[in-house]
A and B are shown apart, each in its own frame.
Chain A
Amino acid sequence: MHHIYCPYCEETREEEEYSYTGEAHIERPKDPAAISDEAWGDYLFFRSNPRGIHHEMWYHAAGCRRYFNVTRNTQSYQIHETYKMGELPTVTVPKETVQKGEAS
């Protein structure tokens, strides 16, 4: 069970209050009609799915009902940071693929 800090509520709450909504920082093409099927498919379906540092969106469904970003290690499940929409992550470069960490 993750304990996730919501940057809007400024509270740490249990995972079940939130829903996971996928990889973060994927920009919707400005003019979908203008781009190729290739690019549109890539935008819709293709994901980086890393083993290690992952930037992802969560939705505080049972709280403020806002989306925010989380930097989490998909191997150790350690949450490095949470940050508001529109902000950039501070933890980005994976120091090593597998990091030791406590599953929270």
Chain B
Amino acid sequence: MKKYSGFSLFKHSLSHHENWQAAWRSPQPKKEYDVIIVGGGGHGLATAYYLAKVHGITNVAVLEKGYLGGGNTARNTTIVRSNYLWDEASKLYDHSLDLWKDLSQDLNYNVMFSQRGVLNLGHNLQDMRDIERRVNANRLNGIDGVVLNTAEVKEIVPVINDSQDIRYPVLGASWQATGGVARHDAVAWGFARGADSFGVDLIQQCEVTDIITEEGAVVGVQTTQGFIGSKKVACVTAGNSGVMAAMVGLRLPIESRPLQALVSEPVKPIIDTVVMSNAVHAYVSQSDKGDLVIGAGTDSYNGYGQRGSFHIVEHTLSAICELFPMFSRVRMNRAWGGVVDTCPDACPIISKTSVKGLYFNCGWGTGGFKATPGSGHVFAHTLAHDEAHPFAAPFSLDRFNTGHLIDEHGAAGVAH
């Protein structure tokens, strides 16, 4: 891998940028790998990268049915934060936030991580009590957070409607200054390029159609490019995890639903932070290009169509227009949906399964992007040692049978 630098940019400008090395190879699949990762999104690529970098396991294939980072990695609203309520969740997400801080240097790829702060608004007294509880829990866990009142929110976001006469007035917010946004595509591409540089094979247009087992242990996968052998198969397939599990007769505590987002036409800088509201179900930030990036809720029912219901978008936009009346005249450019894997306790599953050599990293639901580096890091450990990383251990599949759920629903400003 040739390193990107200011000097290389200058050098390639002399040849009109026509001779850049491809960011990764497009190899033919080998017959056998030490580890096969199913799913070439951010989490899968991060897993491959850390497997190679931290654990020295490089005989790895990432199988992607479409193109790299074309699923939920390309469809989210790129928010990064770690202000989760429970110890287990805050450890995992804060581990991820730590990795985000040096990720561009580590990958030699600009992921445009911008710590512009995240506001989670409160609209009634109970919201504010929950926010205080969560901020206190965060601070005990070493995660920065403060509780703001209406005036302090207005100071950070001058365009917000601070009238107390609206249906859901802004009574205050939690503020995590270290939160922010990153460039979603760059995250996938950076991890892909990094993994490829260690010799990981990234195989696109290769759909896994079956998982082959012998005597309760994985021996490989059947794909649209033929059989590929491996004793370890790791599914990082988000919304399609239920389909993958069904291949070996397993069921997961997951339901797949479309989650929508939309962007406006580019406008001048107007919001330099991330504003989220769980109660009215809207969140907004502004990309470097100038578009307002707006997230909506999930559909209420299961669905694998990568589009959502219109009334969900309408609901979100009415909330956005109440919070930011001036946005009522902004035109929306594009809207799309991604299929998210929602778990009953809104926490991920990073786990072994009852099938030997079959691992799942799924259930991130509506908030997986922020966890991309951390998820890959701990899952790589789980794969390499066949034993959960300490941060991943509470997120095993067993918890749904033991009852040790990590109930982050609503409690953590999780936007659904």
Contacts and interface: CB of A to CB of B under 8 A. Distances in A.
Interface of A: 1, 15-16, 19-20, 22, 37-38, 40-42, 44-51, 54, 56, 72, 74-77, 103
A42 B354 CA distance: 14
Given A1-B309, A37-B401, A37-B403, 4 more contacts: A41-B401, A46-B253, A51-B304, A56-B301
B222 to A, nearest CB: 15
Interface stretch (B86-94, B102-110, B238-246): B238-246
B252 A15 contact: no
Contacts of B243: 49-51
A54 B255 CA distance: 12
Contacts of B400: 41, 44-46
B68 to A, nearest CB: 22
A82 B311 CA distance: 22
Contact of A47 (B255, B300, B402): B255
7 contacts: A41-B401, A45-B400, A47-B242, A49-B302, A51-B242, A72-B301, A75-B304
Contacts of B304: 51, 74-75
Interface string B361-392: 00000000000000000000000000000000
A47 B251 contact: yes
Given A41-B401, A45-B253, A50 B246 contact: yes
A15 B309 contact: yes
B256 interface: yes
Contact of B256 (A40, A46, A49, A72): A49
Given A37-B402, A37-B403, A49 B242 contact: yes
Nearest to B240: A51
A54 B253 contact: no
Describe A's contact surface by its main secondary structure.
Answer: mixed
Contacts of A16: 311
B303 interface: yes
Q: How large is the interface on B (under 10, 10 to 19, 20 to 34, 35 or more residues)?
A: 20 to 34
Contacts of A50: 242-243, 246
A54 B302 CA distance: 9
B7 interface: no
B169 interface: no
Contacts of B403: 37, 41
A87 B100 CA distance: 52
Given A37-B402, A37-B403, A38-B401, A49 B254 contact: yes
Interface of B: 240, 242-243, 246, 251-256, 300-305, 307, 309-311, 344, 400-403
A72 B307 CA distance: 16
B301 A48 contact: no
A39 B192 CA distance: 40
A20 B302 CA distance: 9
| 8 pairs of A and B residues whose beta carbons are closest in the complex | A49-B242, A41-B401, A45-B253, A20-B301, A45-B400, A20-B300, A46-B251, A41-B400
B242 A48 contact: yes
Contacts of B251: 42, 46-49
B402 A19 contact: no
Nearest to B250: A46
Most chain B CB within 10 A, of A42, A45, A50, is at A45
A74 B309 contact: no
B253 A47 contact: yes
B309 to A, nearest CB: 6
B311 A46 contact: no
Contacts of A44: 344, 400
B259 to A, nearest CB: 15
Contacts of A46: 251-253, 400
A75 B344 CA distance: 22
A70 to B, nearest CB: 9
Contacts of A37: 401-403
Contacts of B302: 49, 54, 56, 74
A44 B305 CA distance: 26
Contact of A19 (B240, B246, B300, B309): B300
A40 B90 CA distance: 28
Contacts of B253: 45-47
A61 to B, nearest CB: 11
A27 B251 CA distance: 16
A47 B302 CA distance: 11
Contacts of B255: 22, 47, 49
